[in-house]
Amino acid sequence: MATLLSDLVSGATHVPSNYVRPAQDRPNLDQVQSSDHSIPLINLQGLEDSRRSDIIKQIGLACQDYGFFQVQNHGIEEAVIGNMLSVSKEFFHLPESERLKSFSDDPLKTTRLSTSFNVKTEEVSSWRDYLRLHCYPLEDYMHEWPSNPPSFREDVAEYCRNVRGLAVRLLEAISESLGLEGDYMNKALGKHGQHMAINYYPTCPQPELTYGLPGHADPNVITVLLQDDVAGLQVLNNGKWVAVKPIPHTFIVNLGDQIQVLSNDRYKSVLHRAVVNCNKERISIPTFYCPSYDAVMEPAPQLIDDHHPPLYRSFTYAEFYEKFWDRGLNTRSSLDLFKTTSHSA
Ligand SMILES: O=C(O)CCC(=O)C(=O)O
């Protein structure tokens, strides 16, 4: 039997039973809102000049009201984005034996190809294969990455360097939008971590029955997501799922659980999910920008006062991350496990 979903279901006319969600937990695609302006679109041109305070205000509002925004004029060249998308597609189109050289079901491995989410613990599988790569510092990990397609390491490394630059600029802007020093987040992350997933969602004969990824919040600090031209990402806003329409050369930024903690709930890490479709395969590439495992996470002392007591206890990112993978993708946030006693649900 095939190990990866793409090999298992190529040409399938039905979703295998272990991918079928219970009736009360299906995408209900006809109830999803779609609009051209589903989440704010922010133009970053001018972030380093006189427009900075205006752009930071826009970022702050987006973080407060949506936990999600899109960025344009982010400074990453179209060729870097194009190469990343095409080498990713090429990888997932390689023969099975070639792809499987990177396979592992151990979430602790720093380079691994896998399927669904956590095949060791989950009850229902998700319609996704993915290649997960640690990518900062690059020289520690690049030698583990697939060497086929031949330009893979070079194209992905160039992309990672660029996205790291963008993530650092965004974290500065987010710190300032909270009234903190620009380098507050940067310092809170310790040595910084950067991971990436290349998600491959094959076409699906019955998209109403399953998810590419069910609703979840990200455990990290911020995620910078690149998607191809096929829609699939949906964000929960005011209790409704909203589809995010792909815009070429635009990144989607979402806040992760650690920003919720550092901001003491001023900003929220928001549920999102990926749905699949019957006509087109889809690639999405989230870069998860993280604290290092030994970094201590806690609400910024500057955001605590008599009216705003700390809502979370201090913990290391390693402690949080382990709980996240063990619990599986879950609409109940892992954050509940770290609330100060008086604020736990
Ligand atoms: O495919 C997408 O658009 C979302 C991916 C995602 O949420 C994830 O990989 O955590």
Cβ(284) – ligand 1 distance below 6 Å: yes
- Judge contact between 177 and 56, C-beta under 8 A: yes
Residue 250 Cβ < 6 Å to ligand 1: no
**Helix or strand run (H / E) with residue 237:** strand 233-237
Cα of 25 from ligand 1 centre, angstroms: 18
pLDDT, tens digit, for every residue of 262-299?
A: 999 999 999 999 999 999 999 999 999 999 999 999 99
Per-residue pLDDT, averaged over 301-326, amounts to 93
Read off the pTM.
Answer: 0.96
- Calculate the average pLDDT of the chain: 94
Q: Where are the domains of the chain?
A: 5-343
Least confident piece of the model among 54-58, 102-106, 227-231, 265-269: 102-106
* Closest protein CA for atom 3 of ligand 1: 233
Fold of 5-343: Jelly Rolls (2.60.120)
* Ligand 1 pocket, residue 276 CB under 6 Å: no
- What mean pLDDT is predicted for residues 11-20? 94
Which residue in the block uniquely carries the two structure tokens 């996704």? Answer: 128
Residue linked to tokens 């006809």: 30
Residues β-bridged to residue 288 = 195, 223
By most ligand atoms within 8 Å of CB, the mutation choice from 284, 333, 334 for ligand 1 is 284
Ligand 1 binding pocket includes 236 (Cβ within 6 Å):
no
Measured CA to CA, the distance from residue 310 to residue 265 in angstroms comes to 9
In this prediction, residue 79 has a pLDDT band, given cuts at 50, 70 and 90, of: very high
Q: Is 126 in the pocket of ligand 1 (CB under 6 A)?
A: no
